[in-house]
Amino acid sequence: MSTPLQQSWRRIRKNPGAMIGMVILLVMVFMAIVAPLITPFDPTTQFLEYSVQQPGFKGNVLKKTNPSNPDRPILIAIKEFAVRGDSVYYTDPAGEHYRFHKSLLAGSTEDEWHITPTFILGTDRFGRDLWTRLIYGMRVSLTVGVIAQTIALIVGVLLGSLAGYFRGWVDDCIMWLINVVWSFPTLLLVVAFSVILGKGYWQTFIAIGISSWVDIARIVRGQFFSIREAEYIEATRAFGYGSIRTIFRHMLPNAIGPVIVLATAGFATAIIAEASLSFIGMGVQPPMPSWGQMIKDGYGYIALGVKWGMTVFPAAAMAIAVIALNLFGDGLRDAFDPRTSQR
């Protein structure tokens, strides 16, 4: 006999949209994890000589040793170079001529100190590789989404379970808090907490997390209202089990299905909220890459009708992530509540 979890997995597998969404999400997570292996540069590396280049632009770069950071060589954009004796002569893209001692090359062979990278998606106004920043921005967005939703789940599940189990004055106090927080638009509340906490990486996911728990608390509270009167809960009281054990070991596992579905939708909302904060300069701060920051950097160009990729690429990546999360969330809803797919 299959378990409820196995039955839910079978329903997900039969849902094409859910499977497509799950595959897209897994690919994005994998790319975010192996970002250093699939990107040619650090996301903050600048080639001012290659500012605002079109997709597919091919560069020409020399690597020079960096005394202050041996693991991160100095990258020099060049037009052409020649090695004569113990010196390296090169011409930069502006046509200026320079030379330095051959011993300063970062590597023993030309394959190590001379590269011709292809900027797949082009470069931004600082000459940074858009592909690299897009992948690292994916890492930031997914991380913020996971941590922010974890915070929202902890707060929402805790308050919702306490309100649904104890009822009475506990429920009245928690519902008062829920109604107060719920009266503010989520994005406005996120901005308010960002102002209080300040700008930065960890401030962003804390601000989003503590602004997104209300719906989770309401769902858990409603689930606990119906579960509380079930016979097996009455049996736990008869056996003398404490409230904490009854809530977390017997009631919460039976209410977790709708919470997982809601958390998936909240994940997408968190990604949009992070991008919105970064777009207005209150989220992840430069030079750390963020999809919202990338859209802001390219907004002026797309308004002029040029270099549209600087805005479209991060916007498309964010749209794909949100659509994938929504498809997967719909599949989870149908899997945990098969009645929705039988209507």
Residues 182 and 216: their CA atoms lie apart, in Å, by 12
Residues 184 and 173: their CA atoms lie apart, in Å, by 18
Is residue 1 pLDDT above 60, yes or no? no
Mean pLDDT rounded to a whole number for the chain: 88
Is residue 304 pLDDT above 60, yes or no? yes
The arithmetic mean of pLDDT across residues 112-139, rounded, is 94
Is residue 161 pLDDT above 70, yes or no? yes
pLDDT in tens, 247-274: 888 888 888 888 888 888 889 999 999 9
The arithmetic mean of pLDDT across residues 142-164, rounded, is 92
pLDDT in tens, 15-74: 899 999 999 999 999 999 999 999 989 999 999 999 999 999 999 999 999 888 888 899
Locate all alpha helices (DSSP H) within the chain, ordered by sequence.
Answer: 4-13, 16-33, 35-38, 110-113, 130-166, 168-182, 186-197, 201-209, 214-227, 231-238, 243-245, 252-279, 291-303, 309-336
Where do the structural domains in the chain lie, given as residue ranges?
4-35+129-341, 60-116
Q: What is the model's pLDDT at position 131? A: 96
- Between 291 and 252, the more confident residue is 291
pLDDT tier for residue 343 given thresholds of 50, 70 and 90: very low
pLDDT tier for residue 214 given thresholds of 50, 70 and 90: very high
Residue of 263, 332, 260 lying closest to 8 (CA atoms): 332
Contacts with 92 (C-beta within 8 Å, 6 or more apart), sequence order = 49, 76, 77, 78, 79, 98
The arithmetic mean of pLDDT across residues 193-207, rounded, is 86
Residue of 289, 288, 279, 311 lying closest to 194 (CA atoms): 279
* Least confident piece of the model among 35-44, 81-90, 108-117, 181-190: 181-190
CA angle 220, 213, 250 (to 5 degrees): 30
Pairing between strand 118-119 and 57-58?
antiparallel
Burial of 260-271, coded b for 16+ CB within 10 Å and e otherwise, reads ebbbbbbbbbbb
Cα dist from 95 to 54, 77, 90, 98, 188, whole Å: 21, 11, 9, 10, 51
Residues 148 and 207: their CA atoms lie apart, in Å, by 8
Residues 250 and 244: their CA atoms lie apart, in Å, by 10
Q: What is the model's pLDDT at position 339? A: 52
Could you give phi then psi for residue 30, rounded to 5 degrees?
A: -60, -45
Three-state DSSP state, 39: coil
The arithmetic mean of pLDDT across residues 199-213, rounded, is 88
Residue of 143, 138, 130, 137 lying closest to 45 (CA atoms): 130
Q: What is the model's pLDDT at position 195? A: 85
Is residue 338 pLDDT above 60, yes or no? no
pLDDT in tens, 89-108: 999 998 999 999 999 999 88
Contact 148, 197 (CB under 8 A): no
What is the percentage of the chain residues whose pLDDT exceeds 70? 97
Contact 15, 335 (CB under 8 A): yes
pLDDT tier for residue 2 given thresholds of 50, 70 and 90: low
CA 100 to chain centre: 42
| Amino acid letter, 51 | S
Q: What is the DSSP string of 69-98?
A: -TTSPEEEE-SEEEEETTEEEEE-TTS-EE
CATH of 4-35+129-341, one of 2.130.10.10, 1.10.3720.10, 3.40.1280.10, 3.30.390.10: 1.10.3720.10
